Amino acid sequence: MTDTRNPPWTRDELLLALDYYLDNADDYFSPTGDGVLELTAKISKVAKAIGLTGSDTLRNANGVSMKLMNFRAHDPNHDTRGLSRGNKLEEVVWAEFADNPAALKMVVSTILDVTQSASGDDLPVFPSDDQIEAREGQLLTRVHRYRERNAAIVKRKKAAYLKKYGHLCCEACGFGFQATYGDRGEGFIECHHTKPVSELVTGEKTKLTDLVLLCANCHRMIHAARPWWSLDELRAALSAAAAQE
Ligand SMILES: [Zn+2]
Ligand SMILES: [Zn+2]
């Protein structure tokens, strides 16, 4: 049973490993220790929820222990000469979360909640070219997408906006589909869920105020790179670009 038959580690799995690492930074991460074994079980569950396939165990304790030691190689508090620094994604995840263990803990607990409550299948999976996965990993990306595509609340959001303003348009750039394309564009607009992915809570109800209406371009731009832009960042980019013209 070697790791080579298994798919590369995902962000979601690395987030779990990093969270464990930060809680136990002075440990030697023995593959037979309870902590590493428990972590391995959790990581395997997450890998399965994502839809990864490989050997039966998918992730084994030796592989997990190695990943933890790879994180140590990035830890400025340890003398890490001779340790392999692992792959690029570990370095990225370390840079994004090592300084913010509290946020990481929240993300990890939500990821675990998602694997408990939804058999991954309940959440829509999108082709990888459709959007860049959030820093917080694939499962929370799916939750975000699921919430902003929930047909019932999207319908209510559009109706409320229409009632207030008389037309639908992008709340960032003002683009209106009907205004631009005529009747074919009537009722056409996307919704974006504004709650930061790191603050997602499973089972939480989406409020109308959590959603903003965005044209397809603006919505794409929010999700086009990591970290995803907030609505304010999107608006700032639009006005900075407009000021350059
Ligand atoms: Zn727009
Ligand atoms: Zn969105």
Residue 179 confidence (pLDDT): 96
Q: Is the pLDDT of residue 143 over 70?
A: yes
Residue 146 belongs to a domain:
yes
User: In the chain, at which residue ranges do the beta strands (DSSP E only) sit?
Assistant: 190-193, 211-214
Q: Is the pLDDT of residue 81 over 80?
A: no
Quote the Cα angle for 12-110-191, to 5°: 90
114 and 147: one domain? no
Weakest mean pLDDT among 27-31, 77-81, 186-190: 77-81
Parent domain of 179 = 142-244
Rg (CA), the chain: 21
Q: Is the pLDDT of residue 82 over 80?
A: no
20 and 114: one domain? yes
**Boundary-marking domain end, from 69, 102, 118:** 118
| 177 Cα to the center of ligand 1, angstroms | 10
User: How do residues 203-233 score in pLDDT, each as one tens digit?
Assistant: 788 999 999 999 999 999 999 999 999 999 9
235 and 154: one domain? yes
Q: Who has greater pLDDT, 3 or 157? A: 157
Structure tokens at 213: 């209406």
Ligand that lies nearest to the alpha carbon of residue 173, given by its number in the listed order? 1
| 190 Cα to the center of ligand 2, angstroms | 9
Residue 19 belongs to a domain:
yes
Q: Tell me how far apart the alpha carbons of residues 120 and 50 are, in angstroms, rounded to a whole number.
A: 7
**Closest of 164, 166, 211, 159 to residue 190, by C-alpha:** 211
27 and 112: one domain? yes
Split at pLDDT 50, 70, 90, the class of 186 is very high
| 21 Cα to the center of ligand 1, angstroms | 41
**Boundary-marking domain end, from 85, 118, 151:** 118
> What pTM was estimated for this model as a whole?
0.86
Helix crossing, 88-97 with 61-72: angle to 10°?
Answer: 60
| 215 Cα to the center of ligand 1, angstroms | 4
DSSP string for 114-148: HHHHS-STTS----TTTSPPPTT-HHHHHHHHHHH
Split at pLDDT 50, 70, 90, the class of 150 is confident
Question: Which of 4-18, 29-43, 45-59 has the highest mean predicted lDDT (pLDDT)?
Answer: 29-43
Q: Is the pLDDT of residue 49 over 50?
A: yes
Structure tokens at 235: 């608006």
Q: Is the pLDDT of residue 42 over 60?
A: yes
Average confidence (pLDDT) over 50-54:
82
192 and 231: one domain? yes
| 133 Cα to the center of ligand 1, angstroms | 21
Beta bridge partners of 211: 193
Domain count along the chain: 2
| 43 Cα to the center of ligand 2, angstroms | 26
| 212 Cα to the center of ligand 2, angstroms | 9
> Which strand (E) or helix (H) includes residue 180?
helix 177-181
Please state, rounded to an integer, the average pLDDT across all residues of the chain.
89
Residue 118 confidence (pLDDT): 53
Residue 127 confidence (pLDDT): 52
Q: Tell me how far apart the alpha carbons of residues 153 and 51 are, in angstroms, rounded to a whole number.
A: 28
| 191 Cα to the center of ligand 2, angstroms | 7
| 189 Cα to the center of ligand 1, angstroms | 9
Residue 198 confidence (pLDDT): 87
